[in-house]
């Protein structure tokens, strides 16, 4: 898409177009490996257009982080609302938490918007950065607070839930779905981790069907 063509859509749509492309590029290449030129090509516009809209690569990354966190928190909030509307049901299995299951499914569903989970992982690894680290810490603590205060998770349960989420990100970052069906251990780990959402993950990542 050229800049001239992109002018036909609204500013908000153009912004989302660029942020969606940037989430994928940053997610796959990391902050230091990505360039605004790569983001522009992924979005189908020129590099100067990206710079005019966001100013710098750092500002763009912070905006990507904000978008990813907003989508994650919105997905969790909607899941919590539905769980409450359903009367806060619990599983018959005392070792299995229904809310954790629903939130986990909502988390995996975010993979349909490529880049969200991986861009979050990239941001969470940049605690040393003055601009990015603070925003990433605030976002992570906001997720933890939602689990504790809105979901009623015990501290240990919230920790376990977050740990499993980071495992999902790690498997995606390693491109382990590429090994599905080829490596027995990778296949077993993917099936155990993603369960009923494995087909979605394989489809979204381009792994073996």
Q: Is the pLDDT of residue 93 over 70?
A: no
- What CA–CA distance (Å, rounded) separates 37 from 123? 20
Q: Residue 21 pLDDT more than 60?
A: yes
DSSP conformation class of 196: G
Structural domain span for residue 87 = 3-173
Residue 139 lies in a domain: yes
In a domain, 206, yes or no: no
User: Is 196 inside a domain boundary?
Assistant: no
Tokens in use for 22? 């940037």
Q: Which pLDDT band holds residue 4 (cuts at 50, 70, 90)?
A: very low
Q: What is the pLDDT of residue 29?
A: 95
d(CA 117, CA 110): 7
- CA atoms of 62 and 119, how far apart (whole Å): 10
- Would 180 be classed as within a structural domain? no
Task: Determine the Cα–Cα distance for residues 1 and 7; give it in Å rounded to an integer.
Answer: 10
Does the residue 197 lie in any domain? no
Structure tokens at 120: 């979050």
Inter-axis angle of helices 98-109 and 57-85, to 10 degrees? 140
Distances in whole angstroms, Cα of residue 42 to Cα of each of 34, 39, 93: 11, 5, 46
Over residues 163-167, the mean pLDDT reads 95
Predicted local confidence at residue 159, as pLDDT? 96
Number of domains in the chain: 1
* Domain annotation covers residue 208: no
Mean pLDDT score, 159-181:
95
Q: For 97-137, how does the pLDDT look when each residue is reduced to its tens digit (9 = 90+)?
A: 899 999 999 999 999 998 999 999 999 999 999 999 999 99
Looking at residue 208, what is its pLDDT? 80
| Alpha-carbon distances, residue 9 vs 22, 44, 49, 193 (angstroms) | 18, 13, 14, 40
Q: Which of 207, 163, 161 is CA-nearest to residue 182?
A: 207
- Domain harbouring 111, CATH code: 1.10.357.10
Structure-block tokens of residue 143? 């997720």
Is residue 88 situated within a structural domain? yes
Going by pLDDT thresholds of 50, 70 and 90, the confidence category of residue 209 is low
Contact 89, 102 (CB under 8 A): no
The answer for residues whose C-beta is within 8 angstroms of residue 16's C-beta and 6 or more apart is: none
Q: Is residue 200 part of a domain?
A: no
Alpha carbons 109 and 79: distance in angstroms, whole number: 12
Mean residue pLDDT across the chain: 92
Burial pattern 142-181, b for ≥16 Cβ within 10 A else e, equals ebbebbeeebebeeebbeebeeebeebbebbbeebbebbe
pLDDT digits (tens, 9 = 90+) for 25-58: 999 999 999 999 999 999 999 999 999 999 999 9
């Amino acid at each position: 898409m050229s800049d001239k063509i992109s002018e036909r859509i609204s500013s908000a749509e153009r912004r989302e177009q660029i942020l969606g492309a940037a989430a994928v590029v940053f997610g796959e290449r990391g902050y230091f490996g990505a360039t605004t030129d790569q983001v522009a090509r992924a979005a189908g516009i020129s590099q100067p257009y990206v710079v005019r809209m966001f100013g710098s690569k750092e500002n763009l990354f912070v905006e990507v982080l904000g978008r990813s966190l907003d989508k994650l928190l919105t997905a969790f909030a909607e899941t919590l609302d539905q769980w409450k509307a359903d009367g806060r049901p619990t599983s018959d299995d005392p070792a299995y938490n229904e809310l954790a299951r629903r939130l986990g499914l909502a988390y995996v569903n975010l993979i349909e918007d490529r880049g969200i989970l991986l861009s979050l992982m990239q941001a969470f690894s940049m605690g040393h950065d003055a601009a990015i680290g603070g925003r990433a810490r605030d976002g992570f603590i906001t997720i933890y607070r939602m689990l504790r205060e809105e979901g009623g998770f015990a501290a240990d349960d919230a920790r376990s839930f977050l740990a499993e989420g980071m495992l999902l990100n790690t498997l995606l970052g390693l491109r382990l779905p590429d090994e599905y069906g080829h490596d027995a251990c990778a296949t077993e780990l993917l099936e155990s981790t993603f369960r009923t959402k494995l087909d979605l993950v394989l489809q979204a990542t381009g792994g073996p069907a």
